[in-house]
Chains A and B, each alone.
Chain A
Amino acid sequence: MTIPLSYYLLLSGILFVCGVLGFLIKRNIITIFMSIELMLNGVNLSFVAFAAHWHALSGQVFVFFVMVVAAAEAAVGLAIIIAVYRTRETLNVDQVNLLKL
């Protein structure tokens, strides 16, 4: 027996909403960063679910691209976070509201 498509989509939606809520609510930059990963992977899940459902490869290819971008983003993002922490000695986004270090 196969798991219906709607289950995947539901899970994907839940993951995405969790990511959004985390992004909005949390103050710690690291947590926010992780919420972004959660959203990306929620979307990835729906891609692969559709790819499996329609027997099309393009959805899976797309996921690879997202993963590559996410990895790059994580590298740059973490570097920025470290830089911010060194100057401000805080990871609270509410105190990092100037677009400069």
Chain B
Amino acid sequence: MTQNSNLWLIPLLPLAGAAVNGVFGRRLSKTAITSIALAFCGAAFLLALKVALGFSSSEAPYSFDLAHWIRAGDFQADFSFYLDQLSLVMLLVVTGVGFLIHIYSVGYMAEDDGYYRFMSYLNLFMFFMLTLVLAKNYLLMFIGWEGVGLASYLLIGFWFTKDSAAAAGKKAFIVNRIGDFGFMIALFLMIQHFHSLDFTTVFAQVAGKATETAGVGLLTSIGLLLMVGAAGKSAQIPLYVWLPDAMEGPTPVSALIHAATMVTAGVYMVARSHVIFEHAPGALTVVAVIGTLTALFAATIGIAQTDIKKVLAYSTISQLGYMFMACGVAAFSAGIFHLMTHAFFKGLLFLAAGSVIHGVGGEQDMRKMGGLRKHMPVTFWTMTIATFAIAGIPPLAGFFSKDEILWMAYISPHGSWIFWLIGVVTAFITSFYMFRLWFMTFFGEYRGAAGGDTHGHGNHGSEHGHGEPHESPWVMLGPLVILAVLSFVGGWVNIHHGFDLFLSPVFRSHAAVVQLKALTTQESSQLEARDRLELAFTGISVAVGFLGLFLAWLLYHKRRDLPEKIAISLGDLCHAVVNKYYVDELYASVFIKPLVEGSTVILWKGVDQGMIDATVNNAASEARHVSDNVRHMQSGNLRSYAGWIAAGGAAVIAYMVWMGVR
């Protein structure tokens, strides 16, 4: 296949852009920086499109070895790229959404002093993300995995002069480190038992093993450890705490990294490792339970947030929970489908929120917005599409993917009605808080200060220090419109399970489940009952979507005095939700405080100061004491020198005599 030779260019193009902008960006003009960043990223996107057009399922998977890397004994890991249906979907999502967000950033970050730095980081992120999705072995994937973590750290802390941004960057990095620890141990186990990290080699060996039905065996351990890694990167319980804080970064970053692409890396990794998980039902169940709990838990927190980006952040965590729920019931293609539609509508939501923040002069508190429908019509309509999409209203993208996850959660052999029920409740909450955001931001009358005097966002607020909210420039609105179209039609690809069938060569055993639904040759009565049930379920999920819309309309548009009364009557529960269930405080007192105290008392004061420093210091002062005493020999007094010489001579003679006697 001729395209194979181009595959390695796709990740390397953004790297070149990052290098040029990173090294020379300070001296280049803004136009030059823009064109370099967009050209390299756009070239990667066009190349990905070309690869996609030439993709034929019968010839997949393609692989391309760029160079040898590690060869030690029977272990080897190379710079090899791999393209199958799964990586193709990821490739298109990452380059497509990534390119749109690059364009958007040109407008959003135009006034920032660190413009070249920002563009360089964005390109760098693209490089690592593409390495992650195109890698042919776990080790190269891990490079991308760590690299996107680095890019995420750099971009969260982009406004590093702000303490909270710097702290948020560190928090994201450290929490991810915990997850990466699990991932690495999983890799070590693979090396030990399979002598390889190559996907095809490992999966072929795993496929030959028996399914672990009881107890925690090798495959279950690997699966659970991989899930630890995925929970870190994809912000699942218990490692989700970094993502809400990551909203300190510029909004395009939140859209690209913390909504559309990087946080879905965990889902991709679990889907990629589906062979391992399918042979370890225990690990699969853990994935499903974590995903389901996270979906519900984060959604409830989202209800009470007032920062527009925080709502979206918890919404992202919740939607990622859906994806893990799908993976956990072995409906991997449903998870990837939701990953794709989520990339569209959540990317759009964040970009639209960025446009809103831009328009009102850096304000992020929804209580100070309102009535922006009139001021920002394009932003309003695109955000409306995204909101309806995430709420699961047909025929928008979110409806198809979420509905399929809920259905699979019920019908899959690994599923259960509990997953479905929690999923539906979460869908209702999702719809409610999203429409709450929608009503609070765009309806009613403008509640912001006329001065637009919030300068929380770097140089941003000061540039727009005038009263009237205004619509954003077209360089920002263009990506919004394109993503809105994708959010609208993105779900249609799976109407006749087209998407599932496309991915089925990757998830071979899952294909059986799809065939169950697609084949009409079975007993028609059973199948009819099934179809009716599916239809009923679809009806329920649409109904809860509208119910959320109605409730939000009632509470945040019609009767705006009600939420406060409800909050008062709920009392402590409401406080707990507003304070995010005190999870950060819990972590602080259970993990961080003992760690800090222990480090201070034992490691710092005890070991470092008490042992290491003390050894050096005491050795030096002891040497000084001894020298201080010995120094008196050097008196300058001739006769005392002579005395020392005579005494020394006498001692030597005495020694020799004594030795001679013996």
The interface size bin for chain B is under 10
Q: Is A75 an interface residue (CB 8 A)?
A: no
Tell me which residues across on chain B come within 8 A of A32, comparing CB atoms. Answer: 638
Q: Are B636 and A99 in contact (CB under 8 A)?
A: yes
Point out the residue from A20, A23, A94 that lies within 8 Å of B637, measured CB to CB.
A94
Q: Mark B328-341, 1 if CB is under 8 A from A, else 0.
A: 00000000000000
Q: 1/0 per residue B628-662: CB within 8 Å of A?
A: 00000001111100110010000000000000000
CB-based nearest B residue for A93: B638
Contact A96 B638 (CB under 8 A): yes
B-contact 0/1 string along A66-98, CB 8 Å cutoff: 000000000000000000000000000110111
Q: In the bound complex, how far is the Cα of B636 from the Cα of A98, in angstroms?
A: 6
Question: Roughly how many angstroms separate A97 CA and B637 CA in the complex, as a whole number?
Answer: 5
Chain A, residue nearest B647 (CB) = A24
Instruction: Report the bound CA distance from A96 to B636 in whole Å.
Output: 8
Write the chain A residue with the least CB distance to B635. A97
CA distance A96 to B642 in the complex (A): 14
Which of B635, B639, B643 has the most chain A CB within a 10 Å cutoff? B639
Cβ distance B656 to chain A, nearest Cβ, rounded Å: 15
Cross-chain contact of B636 among A23, A27, A97 (Cβ < 8 A): A97
Q: Does B646 contact A20, Cβ atoms closer than 8 Å? A: yes
Q: How large is the interface on A (under 10, 10 to 19, 20 to 34, 35 or more residues)?
A: 10 to 19
Q: Which A residues, 6 to 41, have Cβ-Cβ distances below 8 Å to chain B?
A: 20, 23-24, 27, 32
Complex: A20 Cα to B643 Cα, angstroms: 9
List of A residues within 8 angstroms of B643 by Cβ: 24
| Chain A residues whose CB sits within 8 angstroms of the CB of B646 once the complex forms | 20, 23-24
Which residues of chain B are within 8 angstroms of A20 by Cβ–Cβ distance?
A: 646
Bound-state Cα–Cα, A23 to B636, Å: 16
- How far apart sit A75 and B334, CA to CA, in the bound complex (Å)? 109
Chain B residue nearest in CB terms to A36: B642
Which among A24, A94, A99 is the interface contact of B642 at CB below 8 angstroms?
A: A24
Give the residues in chain B near A23, CB-CB below 8 Å: 639, 642, 646
- Residues of chain B within 8 A (CB-CB) of A94 are 637, 639
Q: How far is the CA of A23 from the CA of B635 in the complex (A)?
A: 17
Q: Could you tell me the distance between the alpha carbons of A32 and B642 in the complex, rounded to whole angstroms?
A: 11
- Helix, strand, loop or mixed for chain B's interface? helix
Which residues of chain B have C-beta atoms less than 8 A from A96's C-beta? 638
Q: How far is the CA of A94 from the CA of B641 in the complex (A)?
A: 12
Rounded to whole angstroms, the CA-CA distance of A96 and B639 in the bound complex is 11
Cβ of A97: which chain B residues have Cβ within 8 Å of it? 635-638
CA of A22 to CA of B482 in the docked complex: distance in angstroms?
Answer: 110
Which residues of chain A have C-beta atoms less than 8 A from B642's C-beta? 23-24
- A27 / chain B contacts, CB cutoff of 8 Å: 639
Q: How far is A94 from B635 in the complex, measured between Cα atoms in Å?
A: 11
**How far apart are the CA atoms of A57 and B14 in the complex, in Å?**
94
A23 to B646, CA, bound (A): 10
Distance of A46 from chain B, by nearest CB (Å): 14
- Give CA–CA (A24, B639) in the complex, Å: 6
Q: Which residue of B lies closest to A26 (CB)?
A: B639
Across the interface, which residues of A come within 8 angstroms of B639, CB to CB?
A: 23-24, 27, 93-94
In the assembled complex, the CB of A20 is this many whole angstroms from the nearest CB of chain B, namely: 6
Which residue of chain B lies nearest to A97 when distances are taken between CB atoms in the complex?
B636
Instruction: Give the Cβ gap from A1 to chain B, nearest Cβ, in Å.
Output: 31
Of the listed residues A23, A32, A99, the one surrounded by the most CB atoms of chain B closer than 10 A to its CB is: A23
CA distance in complex: A5, B635 (Å): 41
Distance in Å: Cβ of A14 to nearest Cβ of chain B: 16
Q: Whole-angstrom distance between the alpha carbons of A94 and B640 in the complex?
A: 10
Of all chain A residues, the one with the shortest Cβ separation from B650 is: A20
Please give, as numbers and ranges, the residues of chain A lying within 8 Å of B638 by CB-CB distance: 32, 93, 96-97
A43 to chain B, nearest CB (A): 13
What separation, in Å, do the CA atoms of A20 and B639 have in the docked complex? Answer: 11
Complex interface: chain B residues within 8 A of A98 (CB): 636
Tell me which residues across on chain B come within 8 A of A99, comparing CB atoms.
636
* B interface footprint on A40-64 (CB within 8 Å = 1, 0 otherwise): 0000000000000000000000000
Enumerate chain A residues within 8 angstroms of B637, measured Cβ to Cβ. 93-94, 97
User: Smallest Cβ distance from B382 to chain A, in angstroms?
Assistant: 92
In the complex, the chain B residue whose C-beta lies closest to that of A98 is: B636
**Complexed CA–CA distance, A99 and B635 (Å):** 10
Give the docked Cα–Cα distance between A99 and B637 (Å): 10
- Nearest CB in chain B: distance from A13 CB, A: 11
Q: How far does the alpha carbon of A61 sit from the alpha carbon of B95 in the complex, in Å?
A: 99
**What distance in Å separates the Cβ of B652 from its nearest Cβ neighbour in chain A?**
14
| Pairs of residues from A and B, 4 with the lowest C-beta to C-beta distance, nearest first | A97-B636, A93-B638, A97-B637, A23-B642
Of the A-B pairs whose beta carbons lie under 8 Å apart in the complex, a sample of 22, sorted by A's number, is A20-B646, A23-B639, A23-B642, A23-B646, A24-B639, A24-B642, A24-B643, A24-B646, A27-B639, A32-B638, A93-B637, A93-B638, A93-B639, A94-B637, A94-B639, A96-B638, A97-B635, A97-B636, A97-B637, A97-B638, A98-B636, A99-B636
Q: Which residues of A are in contact with B by a Cβ distance under 8 Å?
A: 20, 23-24, 27, 32, 93-94, 96-99
Which B residues fall within an 8 A CB radius of A? 635-639, 642-643, 646
Contacts A24-B643, A93-B638, A99-B636 supplied; 14 other A-B pairs, CB < 8 Å:
A20-B646, A23-B639, A24-B639, A24-B642, A24-B646, A27-B639, A32-B638, A93-B637, A93-B639, A94-B637, A94-B639, A97-B635, A97-B636, A97-B638
